[in-house]
Amino acid sequence: MDGANRTVVSEFVLLGFQAMKGFQIPLFCIFSTFYLLIIASNLAIIAMVRVYQHLHTPMYFFLGNFSILEVLYTTVTVPRMLADLLAEQKTISSKACVVQFYFLFVFGATENLLLALMAFDRYVAICRPLHYPTIMTSKTCGLLALAAWLGGLLAPALPACWISTLAFCTPNEIDHFCCDFAPLLKLSCTDTSTKELTFLFLAWVLIWSCFLLIMTSYGLIIFSVLKIPSAEGQKKAFSTCASHLTVVGIFYSTVMFMYIRPTSTIRFRMDKVVSVFYTVITPMLNPLIYSLRNKEVKGALKRTIRRCCAPI
Protein backbone atom coordinates (compact mmCIF):
# COMPACT_ATOMS: atom_id res chain seq x y z
CA MET A 1 0.00 0.00 0.00
CA ASP A 2 1.33 3.42 -0.89
CA GLY A 3 2.00 5.41 2.27
CA ALA A 4 2.58 8.80 0.55
CA ASN A 5 0.55 11.70 1.97
CA ARG A 6 -0.95 9.45 4.64
CA THR A 7 -0.63 9.94 8.40
CA VAL A 8 0.78 7.10 10.50
CA VAL A 9 -1.54 6.33 13.42
CA SER A 10 -1.09 4.67 16.81
CA GLU A 11 -4.74 3.95 17.58
CA PHE A 12 -7.77 2.60 15.75
CA VAL A 13 -11.52 3.10 15.79
CA LEU A 14 -13.53 -0.12 16.01
CA LEU A 15 -16.66 0.62 14.00
CA GLY A 16 -18.45 -2.45 15.36
CA PHE A 17 -22.16 -2.37 14.57
CA GLN A 18 -22.25 1.21 13.36
CA ALA A 19 -24.79 0.36 10.65
CA MET A 20 -27.25 -0.52 13.46
CA LYS A 21 -26.94 2.76 15.38
CA GLY A 22 -30.53 2.75 16.62
CA PHE A 23 -30.15 -0.75 18.08
CA GLN A 24 -27.05 -0.30 20.28
CA ILE A 25 -28.93 -0.74 23.58
CA PRO A 26 -30.93 -3.81 22.43
CA LEU A 27 -27.72 -5.34 21.04
CA PHE A 28 -25.97 -4.64 24.35
CA CYS A 29 -28.76 -6.39 26.26
CA ILE A 30 -28.75 -9.40 23.90
CA PHE A 31 -24.97 -9.87 23.84
CA SER A 32 -24.56 -9.29 27.58
CA THR A 33 -27.22 -11.95 28.23
CA PHE A 34 -25.42 -14.34 25.88
CA TYR A 35 -22.09 -13.61 27.58
CA LEU A 36 -23.51 -14.29 31.05
CA LEU A 37 -25.00 -17.56 29.78
CA ILE A 38 -21.64 -18.56 28.29
CA ILE A 39 -19.79 -17.85 31.54
CA ALA A 40 -22.41 -19.49 33.77
CA SER A 41 -22.91 -22.64 31.67
CA ASN A 42 -19.21 -23.28 31.10
CA LEU A 43 -18.35 -22.65 34.75
CA ALA A 44 -21.10 -25.12 35.68
CA ILE A 45 -19.51 -27.78 33.46
CA ILE A 46 -16.05 -27.06 34.91
CA ALA A 47 -17.43 -27.34 38.46
CA MET A 48 -19.30 -30.59 37.72
CA VAL A 49 -16.26 -32.21 36.10
CA ARG A 50 -14.20 -31.27 39.14
CA VAL A 51 -16.73 -32.23 41.84
CA TYR A 52 -18.29 -35.48 40.60
CA GLN A 53 -16.02 -38.51 40.79
CA HIS A 54 -17.75 -40.39 37.96
CA LEU A 55 -16.79 -37.51 35.60
CA HIS A 56 -13.08 -37.93 36.36
CA THR A 57 -12.43 -39.57 32.99
CA PRO A 58 -10.37 -38.45 29.96
CA MET A 59 -13.47 -37.42 28.00
CA TYR A 60 -14.66 -35.06 30.74
CA PHE A 61 -11.14 -33.88 31.50
CA PHE A 62 -10.90 -32.60 27.92
CA LEU A 63 -14.45 -31.22 28.15
CA GLY A 64 -13.42 -29.26 31.26
CA ASN A 65 -10.44 -27.84 29.37
CA PHE A 66 -12.75 -26.98 26.49
CA SER A 67 -15.10 -25.09 28.82
CA ILE A 68 -12.18 -23.11 30.30
CA LEU A 69 -11.16 -22.27 26.76
CA GLU A 70 -14.66 -21.07 25.83
CA VAL A 71 -14.73 -18.69 28.81
CA LEU A 72 -11.35 -17.22 27.86
CA TYR A 73 -12.15 -17.10 24.15
CA THR A 74 -15.30 -15.04 24.56
CA THR A 75 -13.74 -12.81 27.23
CA VAL A 76 -11.11 -11.65 24.72
CA THR A 77 -13.74 -10.01 22.50
CA VAL A 78 -17.19 -9.75 24.08
CA PRO A 79 -16.53 -7.36 27.03
CA ARG A 80 -14.80 -4.92 24.65
CA MET A 81 -17.67 -5.27 22.17
CA LEU A 82 -20.20 -4.56 24.94
CA ALA A 83 -18.28 -1.48 26.09
CA ASP A 84 -18.10 -0.14 22.54
CA LEU A 85 -21.86 -0.55 22.07
CA LEU A 86 -22.36 2.04 24.82
CA ALA A 87 -19.33 4.25 24.14
CA GLU A 88 -19.14 7.37 22.01
CA GLN A 89 -15.40 6.94 21.44
CA LYS A 90 -14.59 3.42 20.26
CA THR A 91 -10.82 3.85 20.03
CA ILE A 92 -8.24 1.19 20.83
CA SER A 93 -4.46 1.59 20.82
CA SER A 94 -2.47 -0.31 18.21
CA LYS A 95 -0.65 -2.23 20.97
CA ALA A 96 -3.91 -3.26 22.65
CA CYS A 97 -5.25 -4.27 19.23
CA VAL A 98 -2.26 -6.54 18.57
CA VAL A 99 -2.66 -8.09 22.04
CA GLN A 100 -6.34 -8.78 21.36
CA PHE A 101 -5.46 -10.27 17.97
CA TYR A 102 -2.85 -12.52 19.57
CA PHE A 103 -5.11 -13.94 22.28
CA LEU A 104 -8.05 -14.29 19.89
CA PHE A 105 -5.90 -16.61 17.78
CA VAL A 106 -4.26 -18.29 20.79
CA PHE A 107 -7.65 -19.55 21.93
CA GLY A 108 -8.82 -20.25 18.38
CA ALA A 109 -5.74 -22.41 17.70
CA THR A 110 -6.11 -24.15 21.07
CA GLU A 111 -9.74 -24.95 20.25
CA ASN A 112 -8.66 -26.66 17.03
CA LEU A 113 -6.13 -28.76 18.94
CA LEU A 114 -8.50 -29.64 21.78
CA LEU A 115 -11.23 -30.74 19.37
CA ALA A 116 -8.67 -33.00 17.68
CA LEU A 117 -7.66 -34.46 21.06
CA MET A 118 -11.30 -35.08 21.97
CA ALA A 119 -11.78 -36.94 18.68
CA PHE A 120 -8.65 -39.02 19.35
CA ASP A 121 -9.97 -39.85 22.83
CA ARG A 122 -13.25 -41.13 21.34
CA TYR A 123 -11.30 -43.15 18.75
CA VAL A 124 -9.27 -44.94 21.43
CA ALA A 125 -12.35 -45.47 23.64
CA ILE A 126 -14.42 -47.05 20.87
CA CYS A 127 -11.85 -48.69 18.59
CA ARG A 128 -9.39 -49.87 21.23
CA PRO A 129 -11.50 -50.23 24.39
CA LEU A 130 -9.28 -52.83 26.06
CA HIS A 131 -6.21 -50.60 25.75
CA TYR A 132 -8.08 -47.38 26.64
CA PRO A 133 -7.14 -47.32 30.38
CA THR A 134 -3.44 -47.84 29.60
CA ILE A 135 -3.28 -45.40 26.68
CA MET A 136 -5.39 -42.54 28.06
CA THR A 137 -3.88 -42.34 31.54
CA SER A 138 -4.26 -39.18 33.62
CA LYS A 139 -0.62 -38.32 32.96
CA THR A 140 -1.02 -38.78 29.20
CA CYS A 141 -4.20 -36.68 29.16
CA GLY A 142 -2.46 -33.95 31.14
CA LEU A 143 0.48 -33.88 28.73
CA LEU A 144 -1.82 -33.85 25.68
CA ALA A 145 -3.84 -30.96 27.11
CA LEU A 146 -0.64 -29.09 27.98
CA ALA A 147 0.62 -29.62 24.42
CA ALA A 148 -2.66 -28.19 23.04
CA TRP A 149 -2.41 -25.07 25.22
CA LEU A 150 1.27 -24.55 24.40
CA GLY A 151 0.60 -25.12 20.70
CA GLY A 152 -2.14 -22.50 20.87
CA LEU A 153 0.21 -20.02 22.54
CA LEU A 154 2.93 -20.53 19.92
CA ALA A 155 0.82 -20.73 16.72
CA PRO A 156 -0.05 -17.00 16.41
CA ALA A 157 3.20 -15.68 17.91
CA LEU A 158 4.90 -15.03 14.56
CA PRO A 159 1.89 -13.29 12.91
CA ALA A 160 1.44 -11.14 16.04
CA CYS A 161 5.12 -10.13 15.91
CA TRP A 162 4.77 -9.20 12.23
CA ILE A 163 1.67 -7.11 12.85
CA SER A 164 3.34 -5.29 15.78
CA THR A 165 6.09 -4.08 13.41
CA LEU A 166 3.71 -2.70 10.76
CA ALA A 167 3.05 1.00 10.28
CA PHE A 168 -0.65 1.84 10.11
CA CYS A 169 -2.07 4.81 8.21
CA THR A 170 -5.27 6.81 8.06
CA PRO A 171 -8.09 6.16 7.79
CA ASN A 172 -7.68 4.31 11.09
CA GLU A 173 -11.15 2.72 11.11
CA ILE A 174 -11.56 -1.04 11.53
CA ASP A 175 -14.88 -2.26 10.16
CA HIS A 176 -15.19 -4.92 12.84
CA PHE A 177 -15.90 -5.29 16.56
CA CYS A 178 -12.47 -6.85 17.25
CA CYS A 179 -8.91 -6.74 15.93
CA ASP A 180 -8.92 -9.50 13.35
CA PHE A 181 -6.10 -10.26 10.91
CA ALA A 182 -7.60 -9.05 7.62
CA PRO A 183 -8.86 -5.63 8.87
CA LEU A 184 -5.45 -4.93 10.42
CA LEU A 185 -3.61 -5.76 7.19
CA LYS A 186 -5.96 -3.47 5.28
CA LEU A 187 -4.80 -0.47 7.38
CA SER A 188 -1.08 -1.09 6.86
CA CYS A 189 0.94 1.48 4.88
CA THR A 190 3.34 -1.19 3.62
CA ASP A 191 3.12 -4.22 1.34
CA THR A 192 1.72 -7.13 3.37
CA SER A 193 1.33 -9.75 0.63
CA THR A 194 4.12 -11.99 2.00
CA LYS A 195 2.71 -11.81 5.53
CA GLU A 196 -0.77 -12.57 4.24
CA LEU A 197 0.42 -15.66 2.37
CA THR A 198 2.41 -16.88 5.38
CA PHE A 199 -0.56 -16.41 7.71
CA LEU A 200 -2.81 -18.19 5.21
CA PHE A 201 -0.33 -21.08 5.05
CA LEU A 202 -0.18 -21.34 8.87
CA ALA A 203 -3.98 -21.23 9.08
CA TRP A 204 -4.32 -23.92 6.41
CA VAL A 205 -1.82 -26.20 8.16
CA LEU A 206 -3.41 -25.84 11.59
CA ILE A 207 -7.06 -25.96 10.57
CA TRP A 208 -6.81 -28.68 7.93
CA SER A 209 -4.46 -30.92 9.93
CA CYS A 210 -6.78 -30.86 12.96
CA PHE A 211 -9.89 -31.25 10.80
CA LEU A 212 -8.41 -34.22 8.90
CA LEU A 213 -7.34 -35.85 12.17
CA ILE A 214 -10.89 -35.46 13.49
CA MET A 215 -12.44 -36.84 10.30
CA THR A 216 -9.99 -39.76 10.22
CA SER A 217 -10.79 -40.57 13.86
CA TYR A 218 -14.52 -40.56 13.18
CA GLY A 219 -14.12 -42.51 9.96
CA LEU A 220 -12.38 -45.27 11.94
CA ILE A 221 -15.01 -44.97 14.68
CA ILE A 222 -17.88 -45.41 12.21
CA PHE A 223 -16.12 -48.39 10.60
CA SER A 224 -15.64 -49.96 14.06
CA VAL A 225 -19.17 -49.23 15.30
CA LEU A 226 -20.76 -50.79 12.22
CA LYS A 227 -19.09 -54.06 13.22
CA ILE A 228 -21.03 -54.11 16.51
CA PRO A 229 -23.74 -56.79 16.06
CA SER A 230 -26.47 -55.18 18.18
CA ALA A 231 -28.35 -52.04 17.20
CA GLU A 232 -28.37 -50.97 20.85
CA GLY A 233 -24.59 -51.22 21.03
CA GLN A 234 -24.23 -49.15 17.87
CA LYS A 235 -26.62 -46.50 19.21
CA LYS A 236 -24.72 -46.26 22.51
CA ALA A 237 -21.37 -45.91 20.73
CA PHE A 238 -22.64 -43.22 18.36
CA SER A 239 -24.34 -41.29 21.20
CA THR A 240 -20.98 -40.72 22.91
CA CYS A 241 -19.70 -39.02 19.74
CA ALA A 242 -22.79 -37.08 18.63
CA SER A 243 -22.17 -34.03 20.83
CA HIS A 244 -18.57 -33.67 19.78
CA LEU A 245 -19.39 -34.08 16.09
CA THR A 246 -22.07 -31.39 16.36
CA VAL A 247 -19.60 -28.95 17.95
CA VAL A 248 -16.96 -29.81 15.32
CA GLY A 249 -19.44 -29.18 12.50
CA ILE A 250 -20.47 -25.76 13.82
CA PHE A 251 -16.91 -24.68 14.63
CA TYR A 252 -15.25 -25.67 11.36
CA SER A 253 -18.03 -24.39 9.12
CA THR A 254 -17.36 -20.87 10.44
CA VAL A 255 -13.58 -21.06 10.91
CA MET A 256 -12.94 -22.40 7.41
CA PHE A 257 -15.09 -19.63 5.96
CA MET A 258 -13.09 -17.01 7.87
CA TYR A 259 -9.45 -18.09 7.74
CA ILE A 260 -8.63 -20.28 4.75
CA ARG A 261 -9.26 -17.73 2.00
CA PRO A 262 -7.21 -14.74 0.80
CA THR A 263 -7.96 -11.45 2.57
CA SER A 264 -8.61 -9.83 -0.82
CA THR A 265 -11.87 -11.81 -1.07
CA ILE A 266 -13.08 -10.74 2.37
CA ARG A 267 -16.21 -8.63 2.83
CA PHE A 268 -16.01 -7.28 6.35
CA ARG A 269 -19.75 -6.79 6.90
CA MET A 270 -20.45 -10.46 6.20
CA ASP A 271 -17.45 -11.44 8.32
CA LYS A 272 -18.85 -9.54 11.30
CA VAL A 273 -21.97 -11.71 11.19
CA VAL A 274 -19.89 -14.90 10.99
CA SER A 275 -17.56 -13.62 13.74
CA VAL A 276 -20.53 -13.02 16.05
CA PHE A 277 -21.56 -16.61 15.39
CA TYR A 278 -18.25 -18.21 16.40
CA THR A 279 -17.33 -15.79 19.21
CA VAL A 280 -20.76 -15.55 20.87
CA ILE A 281 -23.39 -17.94 19.52
CA THR A 282 -21.26 -21.09 19.26
CA PRO A 283 -19.71 -20.80 22.77
CA MET A 284 -23.24 -20.35 24.14
CA LEU A 285 -24.56 -23.42 22.26
CA ASN A 286 -21.65 -25.75 23.07
CA PRO A 287 -22.49 -26.32 26.78
CA LEU A 288 -26.12 -26.95 25.80
CA ILE A 289 -25.07 -29.44 23.13
CA TYR A 290 -22.81 -31.34 25.53
CA SER A 291 -25.29 -31.33 28.42
CA LEU A 292 -28.51 -32.06 26.52
CA ARG A 293 -27.01 -34.99 24.62
CA ASN A 294 -25.05 -36.48 27.51
CA LYS A 295 -26.79 -38.50 30.21
CA GLU A 296 -23.91 -38.26 32.69
CA VAL A 297 -23.67 -34.47 32.41
CA LYS A 298 -27.48 -34.14 32.63
CA GLY A 299 -27.50 -36.36 35.72
CA ALA A 300 -24.74 -34.33 37.39
CA LEU A 301 -26.55 -31.10 36.50
CA LYS A 302 -29.84 -32.35 38.00
CA ARG A 303 -28.08 -33.37 41.23
CA THR A 304 -26.40 -29.96 41.41
CA ILE A 305 -29.73 -28.16 40.93
CA ARG A 306 -31.39 -30.33 43.59
CA ARG A 307 -28.59 -29.55 46.03
CA CYS A 308 -28.86 -25.83 45.34
CA CYS A 309 -32.65 -25.82 45.68
CA ALA A 310 -32.80 -28.08 48.74
CA PRO A 311 -33.91 -26.28 51.94
CA ILE A 312 -31.14 -25.68 54.45
| 224 CB burial (10 A radius; 0-12, 13-18, 19+) | middle
CB 195 within 8 A of CB 160: no
Within 10 angstroms of residue 184's Cβ, the number of other Cβ atoms is: 22
pLDDT of the residue at 133? 93
**pTM confidence score:** 0.86
Q: What residues does 11 pair with on adjacent strands?
A: 93
Q: Is it the case that residue 265 has pLDDT exceeding 70?
A: no
Could you give the CA distance from residue 100 to residue 309 in angstroms, rounded to a whole number?
Answer: 40
Could you give the CA distance from residue 74 to residue 183 in angstroms, rounded to a whole number?
Answer: 19
Strand residues in the chain grouped as ranges (E): 8-9, 11-14, 91-93, 168-169, 173-174
Among candidate residues 111, 100, 208, the one with its CA nearest the CA of residue 151: 111
Of 102-106, 170-174, 306-310, which range is least confident?
306-310
- Averaged pLDDT, 90-95: 87
| Residue 238, C-beta contacts closer than 8 angstroms, at least 6 positions apart | 225
Taking all residues of the chain, what is their mean pLDDT, rounded to a whole number?
Answer: 83
pLDDT tens, residue by residue, 230-255: 777 677 667 767 777 888 888 888 88
| Residue 257, C-beta contacts closer than 8 angstroms, at least 6 positions apart | 274
pLDDT of the residue at 3? 44
User: Confidence band (pLDDT; 50, 70, 90) for 275?
Assistant: confident
3-state secondary structure of 179: coil
Query: What DSSP assignment string belongs to 264-286?
Result: GG--HHHHHHHHHIIIIIHHHHH
Q: Is it the case that residue 292 has pLDDT exceeding 70?
A: no
For strands 11-14 and 173-174, give the pairing. Answer: parallel
Half-sphere exposure for 259 (CA within 13 Å, toward CB): 25
pLDDT tens, residue by residue, 172-195: 888 888 888 878 888 888 777 787
Among candidate residues 199, 13, 196, the one with its CA nearest the CA of residue 94: 13
Could you give the CA distance from residue 229 to residue 210 in angstroms, rounded to a whole number?
Answer: 31
Write down all domains in the chain, each with its CATH number in brackets. Answer: 8-309 (1.20.1070.10)
- Proportion of the chain above pLDDT 70, given as a percent: 87
Within 10 angstroms of residue 75's Cβ, the number of other Cβ atoms is: 15
Could you give the CA distance from residue 172 to residue 10 in angstroms, rounded to a whole number?
Answer: 9
Q: What residues does 174 pair with on adjacent strands?
A: 14
- Averaged pLDDT, 78-83: 91
18-31 burial string, b = 16+ CB within 10 Å, else e?
Answer: eeeeeebeebbeeb
pLDDT of the residue at 99? 92
- Between residues 36 and 257, the one the model is more confident about: 36
Could you give the CA distance from residue 243 to residue 63 in angstroms, rounded to a whole number?
Answer: 11
